[in-house]
Structure 1
Amino acid sequence: MSIAKLRYSDLLDAFEFVSSGAPFDSRAFIDRDTGTIHYLSPEFDFEEEVPDDLETSDRYVEVPHKHDLDLGHNLVLSFVEQELPGEYETVSEFFRKKGAYGRFKDFLNSRNQLERWYEYESRETEKALRLWCDENAFELTDDSSVA
């Protein structure tokens, strides 16, 4: 079996699509043979024909949700632990109620740390997606690199 080639930007688009809602709301699958990405969502009607065996064949791999790669609130807490250790309890408290990410971003914005968060999140997401590709035998073809 050959290794499917995949552009990082295409994988990131699929990952963000899948992660934009709750797990299993929107899904994407990558064809192991061609690298083609197929999208599924109850909210969008995609014009492409979806293979009948998309969810049952080993030929397709489902794109992970951010929670599958531990890129949810644990990533936030890792960032705070590294960058704002004195604020760990404050930020941790945000995640005990709905609207945590909004409060977290407002908190970071008030401390001029929002851009650092976005850079950290982007770097960690790329690392996790590249590892996921290695584990699933996909070759990324563009030059985006992990710092």
Structure 2
Amino acid sequence: MRDGEKGFLLLETLVLAAVLVLMAGALLVYRQGLRMEAQTRFEAAATFLAESEFAQLEYQAAAGTLAEGAALRQVHVDFSPEASEFSGGGDFLLRTDIQRMEQAGAYRAAVTVAWQYGGRQQQQIYQRRVGAYEK
């Protein structure tokens, strides 16, 4: 080595290490973003499933066929084709609990939507009054 090149290898190594650390950090942030996107898709699908269930309950209440009790069903939701590999679709478990209220024709409905993502069981609970409304 010449006198002007002393310490240059160490400097190159430190710069390379810093660049590698930054690139690894960027990849981790990107991966976390993909996971958050998938989680948001599951949460949005759960909300839409619950709203759909409430619409069906409102229809049954208007028809006079809504009754107290609990129901359990499983639903598969296909997400959009643009969805990432982390969230191509998902299976959801819907539990609907109906309780009669004191007012005639009025019910308290609770819809629990559960799913598994990332190795963890997750759920959201929605509650609403359905049935007779005064005009």
TM-score w.r.t. the length of structure 1 is: 0.25
Which of the two has greater strand per residue?
2
